[in-house]
Structure 1
Amino acid sequence: MEFGASMFFTDYSMTPAALGRALEERGFESVWAPEHSHIPLSRKSPWPGGGELPKRYYDCMDPFVCLTAAAMATTKLKLGTGVCLVNQRDPIQTAKLVASLDQISSGRFLFGIGVGWNQDEMENHGTAFDTRAKLTRERIEAMKEIWTKSKAEYHGEFVNFDPMMAWPKPVQKPHPPILVGGAFPQGARRAIRYGDGWIPIAGRAPLNEALDKFRHMAAEAGRDPASLPITAFGAAENRDEIRRFRDLGVARAVVSLDSDREDKILPILDRWAELIREG
């Protein structure tokens, strides 16, 4: 099992370059940057984490900028969006961002995506809440066409363009892994339909039940469950839980770090490094 770390990068957090170097030095496999373009003051949909929305959601930097900085400071560390809100982004420009970052990092990008929860935020982008999942799927399908074909076109209900040319193409073939975030069963179904893996959030549902059902659903859909690795976000600093994740066949456990400076974060990473070494 691999280990990653996620942080809402802000102007008061550790920098992406500093965190990237610290993670690579301590044996972590990946760094993850979440995304919110902004947070409206109105709230039609509650935060899935419960309670008041933490300040870091209002303050986070663009994930592609942050991951580029981390890429330049490291050599092996993988770089993931955790998650990119595809239904709030133009698919043609996002396809270029993904391919460019994959090129700059020599094929280290992991494209974590989600449909989002903040209705007010996505409506500011012109996205209808009720059709956000279909819009996300069409934009991913369109991006796959752009990444894999010299003359790409796509015609859907929400995404529509005639034959066009766009470079660069990603280093990873056919494209960087598309890891679909979301709760069971909706997020699991989306991962099986058009993803290369699933990102559940540990603690929000019994993981063992969800993974058993996910693998059964994948097999029923004609997909090899082994081709859809699990990236579990929200891993606790607990040896028994880490071993439980491993026994459940989780491919990657990701710890969520607060948006703090080095003096707060490095001791946490040192403790995690010990857990990683212990296996």
Structure 2
Amino acid sequence: MTQFGVNFFPVVDPAVKTATDYYDETLRLIELAESLGFTQAQTVEHYFTPYGGYSPDPVTLLTAAAARTSRIRLATGAVVPAFTHPVKLAGKLAMLDHLSHGRLDVGFGRAFLPTEFEAFGIPMDESRARFTEGVEACRRLWTTEDLVWEGRFHRFGPVTLLPRPYQRPHPPIFIASATSTDSCAAAGTAGHHLQVVPSVTSAEQLASMLDAYRGAWDAAGHDPAARRIQMKFTCYLSADREEALQQGEFYERSYIDHMAVAVAPLATGDSADYPGYDTFLEKAKNYEFAASLAGNKVLAGDPDGVTAQLRSVREQFGEDLSFSLQFNPGGLAFARAATAMELFAAEVMPAFGQAS
């Protein structure tokens, strides 16, 4: 049975929707998602700009969601170890694991926006090393008593974290990877799960990333049945196909425009940890929704069309995928997002063995 979750990435202009309204609507949609049979709800960590800036602390939002739900899993997609001391981050996440009674999935990411690194006083070229150290430090804090940590960026101990996580030995760890085959292979070797976003890479590169991940997982002797690969999509769904496509084209263009503004400082710089960003603005300028739709980088249409897209994705990239879908991009009205979720649960989920 294919699992479907919901994703909340707030590409929202404050002039279009206030933070209060966005949080209220998101929590209502998470409650709805649980009632419809979606298995996970997740949100991101970003700062300052309309590109994700309404979610500077995913743990806070997910804690509120934990209080209003009882079954749906709650995921960070992702928290950024580079921006938080590992003792603080591991403690916050362990606490949420208890408040949710063991429903937490922890996705870790490197971050990539220049303004965020500048504000935290962290060189972007340290992002990979800080990420690797931060993930392992959190894992060790969750599992080791009297831990003494002697890392490149942090030194502490002996310490024993309280609370210990609700889930033992620790919550499931996901690694968010945008384009790096090496990061995917490292995640597989470590036995961590994977979060990927097809919209930010080519189909060929994504296939290479997944091959590297599965190969490293198997080579390390991990149970193939325990492996979890999650793909994230925006999803524009309506009984009226043309209406869904119009929504998709408008909000995907808004997403690309906001992302371009957020990464512009990096596109003119030179960072060893982020090669290729000098071409991003040109790609954003030439973005075409029709090509993105045809390449299954965005889901849009009526239930039959979206079902066909998901089947095509599984045929191309593997049957062991789960999906995290964003139904409320930008300033989309709550009622439209809720209707799309209800339609997905009623007419798309059953095609993949999941009843609403």
- Flag the structure with higher helix content: 2
Alpha-carbon distance in 2 for matches of 1:166, 1:94: 11
Shift of 1:133: 1.2
Task: Report if aligned partners of 1:85, 1:113 keep a CA contact under 8 Å in 2.
Answer: yes
Shift of 1:94: 0.7
**Bigger-Rg structure (1/2):** 2
- Corresponding residue of 1:271: 343
- Corresponding residue of 1:46: none
Instruction: Number of aligned residue pairs: give it.
Output: 264
Give structure 2 stretches of 5+ with no counterpart.
Answer: 11-18, 235-298, 301-305
Alpha-carbon distance in 2 for matches of 1:71, 1:90: 24
Shift of 1:224: 4.8
Q: Choose which of 93, 101, 126 in structure 1 pairs with 2:96.
A: 101
Greater shift, 74-83 or 252-261, is seen at 252-261
Superposed CA deviations along residues 39-81 of structure 1, whole A, max 9, x for unmatched, are: 4xxxxxxxxxxxxxxx242333521111011111111000011
- Corresponding residue of 1:214: 213
- Corresponding residue of 2:311: 243
TM-score of the two chains, using structure 2 as the length reference: 0.68
Superposed CA deviations along residues 181-219 of structure 1, whole A, max 9, x for unmatched, are: 112314313422445211111232214444234322433
Task: Report if aligned partners of 2:307, 2:351 keep a CA contact under 8 Å in 1.
Answer: no
- Corresponding residue of 1:2: 3
- Corresponding residue of 1:255: 325
Q: Choose which of 75, 81, 90 in structure 1 pairs with 2:76.
A: 81
Alpha-carbon distance in 2 for matches of 1:230, 1:193: 14
2:173 corresponds to 1:139: no
Alpha-carbon distance in 2 for matches of 1:158, 1:4: 35
Alpha-carbon distance in 1 for matches of 2:191, 2:20: 33
Q: How does 1:120-139 map to 2 (within 5 A)?
A: 120-139=115-134
Task: Give the fraction of aligned pairs with identical amino acids, expressed as a percent.
Answer: 25
Greater shift, 5-14 or 155-164, is seen at 5-14
The 3-state SS of whatever aligns with 2:22 is coil
Alpha-carbon distance in 1 for matches of 2:53, 2:100: 28
Alpha-carbon distance in 2 for matches of 1:187, 1:154: 23
- Corresponding residue of 1:155: 150
RMSD over aligned Cα atoms: 2.1
Which AA in structure 2 matches 1:4? G
Alpha-carbon distance in 2 for matches of 1:243, 1:146: 40
Task: Report if aligned partners of 1:102, 1:171 keep a CA contact under 8 Å in 2.
Answer: yes
Q: How does 1:176-215 map to 2 (within 5 A)?
A: 176-182=171-177, 183-194=179-190, 196-203=192-199, 204-206=201-203, 207-215=206-214
The 3-state SS of whatever aligns with 1:163 is strand
The 3-state SS of whatever aligns with 1:187 is helix
Q: How does 1:27-66 map to 2 (within 5 A)?
A: 27-39=37-49, 55-66=50-61
- Corresponding residue of 2:21: 12
Which AA in structure 2 matches 1:196? H
Alpha-carbon distance in 1 for matches of 2:191, 2:216: 14
Which AA in structure 2 matches 1:212? D
Superposed CA deviations along residues 206-252 of structure 1, whole A, max 9, x for unmatched, are: 14444234322433455555443201111625112322344412332
Distance 1:144 1:60, change over 3 A: closer
Alpha-carbon distance in 1 for matches of 2:233, 2:54: 20
Task: Report if aligned partners of 1:146, 1:153 keep a CA contact under 8 Å in 2.
Answer: no
Alpha-carbon distance in 2 for matches of 1:263, 1:61: 25
The 3-state SS of whatever aligns with 2:21 is coil
Distance 1:239 1:115, change over 3 A: same
Alpha-carbon distance in 2 for matches of 1:14, 1:96: 24
Which AA in structure 1 matches 2:93? V
Task: Report if aligned partners of 1:17, 1:72 keep a CA contact under 8 Å in 2.
Answer: no
Greater shift, 137-146 or 208-217, is seen at 208-217
Alpha-carbon distance in 1 for matches of 2:145, 2:213: 35
